[in-house]
Amino acid sequence: GKFAGIAFWLLLMARAIFPALLAPNGQDKNLLALLTSSVVCIGLFYGTGLFYGERTHISVMEYWRWWVVHLWVEGFFEVFATTALAFIFSTLGLVSYRMATAASLASASLFMLGGVPGTFHHLYFAGTTTPVMAVGASFSALEVVPLVVLGHEAWEHWRLQHKTPWMANLRWPLMCFVAVAFWNMLGAGVFGF
């Protein structure tokens, strides 16, 4: 019942990703492994939101809703977005594979280090002190840095290589990906901080 959608999501992603992970092409698969783990974590993460039902007390339901919404915003989205865009940018040759892997590892490390403290800036309603909220705001603002660095690197390569025909054909999708990094930096990094 409840978990069928999550199982379907994981099987769909596994069908697309596992052949690439198992291919013996001798390439470094760190970035693909990070992408795979972030996709699996999204499915498992949303599974926690299914621990309540129609007869669950509102305080329990709100607890799970709060964790799903805020940990998604404070961590999982940043790791997934950075890793997915790093994979796309490195496949298109806009950033080096090494830079893409480094940005993805930095994003995952920031989430592991600051994912929960990054939610502290939401605790104003519980009477949390200003220094604790400041720590939360700092961690929350730092989580966008890897994606911004990756977007900047892709933008620089775009400027250098924009004369090639294949770049002209992919202009709007690539501009959309660079815009994701910019608006993430402006919204979550600047205005969020």
pLDDT at 29: 78
User: Is the Cα dihedral 146, 151, 155, 157 positive or negative?
Assistant: positive
pLDDT at 73: 67
pLDDT tens, N- to C-terminus, the chain (193 residues): 566 776 787 788 778 777 877 877 766 777 888 878 877 777 777 777 777 778 888 887 877 777 777 767 666 777 777 788 888 878 877 778 888 888 888 877 877 777 777 777 677 767 778 888 888 878 777 777 777 777 777 777 667 666 667 777 777 877 787 777 777 777 766 776 6
User: In angstroms, rounded to a whole number, what is the distance separating the alpha carbons of residues 89 and 82?
Assistant: 10
pLDDT at 160: 62
pLDDT at 163: 60
Chain center to CA of 57: 31
pLDDT at 26: 66
pLDDT at 35: 79
pLDDT at 76: 72
Q: How far apart are the first and last CA of the chain?
A: 40
CA distances from 74 to 36, 69, 112, 177, 188 (A): 20, 9, 11, 20, 9
